[in-house]
Amino acid sequence: MEDSKLIELCIKQDQNAQEILYKRYAPKFFALILRYIPRKDDAEDVLVESFYKIFLKVQTYKKEGSFEGWMRKLVVNDCLMFLRKNKMITLEMEVIDQTKMIYQPLQEYELENIKRIIDSLPNGYKIIFNLYVVEGFKHKEIAELLGISVNTSKSQLIHAKRCIRKLLGLNEKDNYLPESEEEE
Amino acid sequence: MKNNFTTWKKISEDLNKMEQVPSEFVWFRIQQKKLRQRLIRISYSSVAASLILIVGVFLFNRSKPISFSGYFYVPVIEKKESDSFLASINFSNTKLPLDFKVAEGNEVKILVPKQP
């Protein structure tokens, strides 16, 4: 069944359609939530909340942009709400001591290892890296979402990228994964 | 490694493709939450309906005869002459809380001077 048909049925609160939608997107959204909230129990709580809201607010989807994108924003918002509620958004205002980091130079591109490196970043770096690089939010949007300045968002991202580069064993001469935003 | 490494965009795309299956109880918890919220909405609606009913009954009752000391009466005041009013009271009870009795449905008319 296509998403458009599913949306129609979900607006009518059809439980079968809701279940199909859940089974289609829950694994993706659960992986997304785990990028922000590593504890599985907490991540499942957020998943429950997010899907409840999706089913409740589906009629407000205005078909501007993809339905998945609309749902993703809702899920990300719920993640941030959870982090804020549990006081887990701690932005590192100082540059962390990179000499204390455990370097894991990769022999080849392994997504699981990269994910592990991202997960090991300080919370502030990780949240902004995920919002900007993975979810595609703009710095202005991140600043509004987190109640910080655009410059703080930018600097956190640069530090996050610098940490990831270090942890991957890339040195200053390597052109891969640059710290600046005007890269690719 | 470097040859295999691509860009932040590639990492982003790959991370976005990642999936992790949540526990099977999540779907039941969503259903539970839906049910719970529906019950809360119903109870809120019941409370609101009860309040509306109470207010409605109160307002409706105001147009009914006023109860006083267990007796109901409908006071009517009509102008009789320029210097007096005719006040009439319809008693729904058989007893008048004064020192005389009046049958139910009887009307007592009293001429009240404007300036006693």
Residues B85 and B81: their CA atoms lie apart, in Å, by 7
Task: Note whether A184 contacts B29, CB cutoff 8 Å.
Answer: no
Distances (CA, A) of A93 to A38, A120, A163, B16: 22, 17, 15, 28
Contact A146, A123 (CB under 8 A): no
Q: Report the predicted TM-score, pTM, of the whole model to 2 decimal places.
A: 0.71
Q: b/e map of A101-138 (b: 16 or more CB within 10 Å)? A: eeeeebeebeeebbbebbeebeebbbbbbbbbbbbebe
Task: Give per-residue pLDDT as tens, B44-56.
Answer: 999 999 999 998 8
- What average pLDDT does this structure show over A167-181? 69
Q: Does any CB of chain B come closer than 8 Å to the CB of residue A183?
A: yes
Contact B75, B105 (CB under 8 A): no
- Separation in Å, CA of B32 to nearest CA in chain A: 10
Q: Does any CB of chain B come closer than 8 Å to the CB of residue A158?
A: no
Binned at pLDDT 50, 70 and 90, residue B40 comes out as very high
Domain ranges in chain A? 3-85, 98-168
The CATH classification number of A98-168 equals 1.10.10.10
- Separation in Å, CA of A100 to nearest CA in chain B: 23
Q: Does any CB of chain B come closer than 8 Å to the CB of residue A88?
A: no
Which residue is closest to B7 within chain A, CA to CA? A177
Distances (CA, A) of B13 to A13, A70, A182, B7: 32, 18, 18, 10
Residue B90 CA, distance from chain mean position: 31
- DSSP symbols for B73-90: EEEEEEEEETTEEEEEEE
Contact A43, A37 (CB under 8 A): yes
Query: How is domain A3-85 classified at the CATH fold level?
Result: Rna Polymerase Sigma Factor; Chain: A (1.10.1740)
Contact A76, A131 (CB under 8 A): yes
Binned at pLDDT 50, 70 and 90, residue B95 comes out as very low
Judged against a pLDDT cut of 50, whether residue B94 lies above it is answered with no
pLDDT for the residue numbered B57? 84
Residue B112: DSSP 8-state: E
Task: Give per-residue pLDDT as tens, B4-19.
Answer: 556 888 889 999 999 9
Task: Note whether A26 contacts B22, CB cutoff 8 Å.
Answer: yes
- Which residues of chain B from 3 to 42 reach within 8 Å of chain A, CB to CB? 4-9, 11-12, 14-16, 18-23, 25-27, 29-30, 33-34, 37
Which residue is closest to B12 within chain A, CA to CA? A134
Dihedral sign, Cα of residue B5, residue B10, residue B15, residue B17:
negative
Residue B19: DSSP 8-state: -
Chain B residues within an 8 Å CB radius of A115:
15, 18
Residues B1 and A104: their CA atoms lie apart, in Å, by 12
Residue linked to tokens 């949240």: A127
- What average pLDDT does this structure show over A138-157? 92
Task: Note whether B7 contacts A31, CB cutoff 8 Å.
Answer: no
- Which of B13, B16, B25, B41 would best serve as a mutation to test chain A binding (most A beta carbons within 10 A)? B16
What element of type H or E holds A160? helix A150-167
